[in-house]
Amino acid sequence: MQKNLKWAVLGCGVIANEMAQALDKMGKHLYAVGNRTHEKAAAFAQKYHVEKVYEDFHEMFHDPDVDVIYITTPHNTHIEFAREALLNGKHVLCEKSVMLNSRELEEAIALAKQNHVIFAEAMTIWHMPLYKKLWKLLETGHPGNCVKDNITQSQNMEECAESDIPPLGRVQMIQLNFGSFKEYDMTNRFFNMNLAGGALLDIGVYALSLARSFMESQPDQVLSQVKYAPTGADEQAGILLMNENGQMATLALSLHSKQPKRAVISCENGYIEIMEYPRADRAVIVEAESGKVHEITAGATANALQYEMTDMEDAILNGNVAAMRLSDTRDVMEIMTRLRKEWGMKYPGEEW
């Protein structure tokens, strides 16, 4: 019988609430919560029937009963908290952007290795069933076996319908849009340099992660244009990527102008369109020659955090670390670090 891992969460914001709800869906229970403000942690614990609340959240890192910690605090605190957790032998799932830069990420990865624990980014794209199905489709030519055990007849029919999609060939070009209309308040976290604000780390990390997941190798050519907010944070950016395989990606990011969360993956024999990424559960495939349209569905948007934690538990208990896609996380962080260095956009106290 496998061990029932005890989860703790650091922070009490939106993601922490989703995480507690996801554990309930999994038939599990959040063991502990910590927060800078103890009153918030106590209220959170009461809401979700959390067993343990720490007076000082640093106690979490030393609690022998805690197996894995989900860090949901602002980007610029991640390395400090991850360092303490990893040094004390805790597995860590860390919200995006996983760190500020590659230097911090490499430190965390090294600490995890030294202490024989798993460190991973809570990147929704790595775990949503839709992307796993699409990656398989591009790799093998179809989304899966037509007849499977333990699924409904309607699901079997859906798999059979999808199996008539012809091979799409290699990915050639990826186009990604991600724009939010955030209140133009320079003190909020989106534009505040002291809180590691800016479009790249907040929303660009999703676009870059999606692009990287559909490319055969890491982009080694990177061009960009950037528009700054009054604080010096990147408010808007256009990014062009290309790898040694000739695959290209274009990204349009904005924090003060709404865009559709739209991805188009253009292949030799057709294209894939995904709306409302990263938490997408539906894609459309259009054949190039005939124009025939196919719909691919998998998973559910509402279960995004559940998929992340299920894969993390599998990595911890069964050694399936590949599902956490840490190498892709590293590639994305290298691109973001490179871009900010080119822009000269360094956060207060940051070390590159």
Q: Cβ(112)–Cβ(88) under 8 Å?
A: no
Domain-embedded: residue 331: no
115 and 157 assigned to the same domain: no
What digits encode the pLDDT tens for the residues 180-228? 999 999 999 999 999 999 999 999 999 999 999 999 999 999 999 999 9
Domain-embedded: residue 268: yes
Domain-embedded: residue 101: yes
Domain-embedded: residue 113: yes
Q: What is the pLDDT of residue 143?
A: 62
Q: Find the mean pLDDT for residues 108-129.
A: 98
Q: Please return the burial class of 98, using the count of CB atoms within 10 Å of its CB with bins 0-12, 13-18 and 19+.
A: buried
Domain stop point among 299, 322, 341: 299
At 86, which CATH number? 3.40.50.720
Residue range(s) defining the domain that contains residue 68: 7-123
114 and 171 assigned to the same domain: no
At 200, which CATH number? 3.30.360.10
109 and 197 assigned to the same domain: no
Q: What is the pLDDT of residue 161?
A: 52
116 and 36 assigned to the same domain: yes
Domain-embedded: residue 42: yes
217 and 292 assigned to the same domain: yes
Cis peptide bond upstream of 209, omega within 30: no
Q: Quote the distance between the C-alpha of residue 122 and its chain's center.
A: 5
How far, CA to CA in Å, does 319 sit from each of 68, 82, 114, 265, 316?
15, 21, 16, 31, 6
133 and 108 assigned to the same domain: no
- Whether 235 shows a pLDDT value over 80: the answer reads yes
92 and 227 assigned to the same domain: no
Domain-embedded: residue 241: yes
What digits encode the pLDDT tens for the residues 43-60? 999 999 999 999 999 999
Q: What is the pLDDT of residue 140?
A: 83
139 and 115 assigned to the same domain: no
62 and 210 assigned to the same domain: no
Q: How many domains does the chain have?
A: 2
Phi, psi of 277 (to 5 degrees): -70, 160
Domain stop point among 272, 299, 326: 299
The predicted model scores a pTM of 0.93
Q: What percent of the chain has a predicted confidence (pLDDT) above 70?
A: 93
Query: If pLDDT is split at 50, 70 and 90, which confidence band does 62 have?
Result: very high
Q: How far apart are CA 12 and CA 19, in angstroms?
A: 10
Query: If pLDDT is split at 50, 70 and 90, which confidence band does 142 have?
Result: low
229 and 139 assigned to the same domain: yes
243: its two tokens: 């790898």
Domain-embedded: residue 314: no
What digits encode the pLDDT tens for the residues 245-277? 999 999 999 999 999 999 999 999 999 999 999
Q: What is the pLDDT of residue 157?
A: 41
Domain-embedded: residue 12: yes
- Whether 286 shows a pLDDT value over 50: the answer reads yes
Domain stop point among 100, 123, 146: 123
134 and 251 assigned to the same domain: yes
User: Reduced to 3 states, what is the DSSP secondary structure of residue 26?
Assistant: coil
CA torsion through residues 152, 158, 161, 164, sign: negative
Query: If pLDDT is split at 50, 70 and 90, which confidence band does 1 have?
Result: low
Query: If pLDDT is split at 50, 70 and 90, which confidence band does 163 have?
Result: low
* Of 253, 252, 116, 282, the residue nearest 273 (C-alpha): 282
Q: How far apart are CA 350 and CA 352, in angstroms?
A: 7
12 and 118 assigned to the same domain: yes
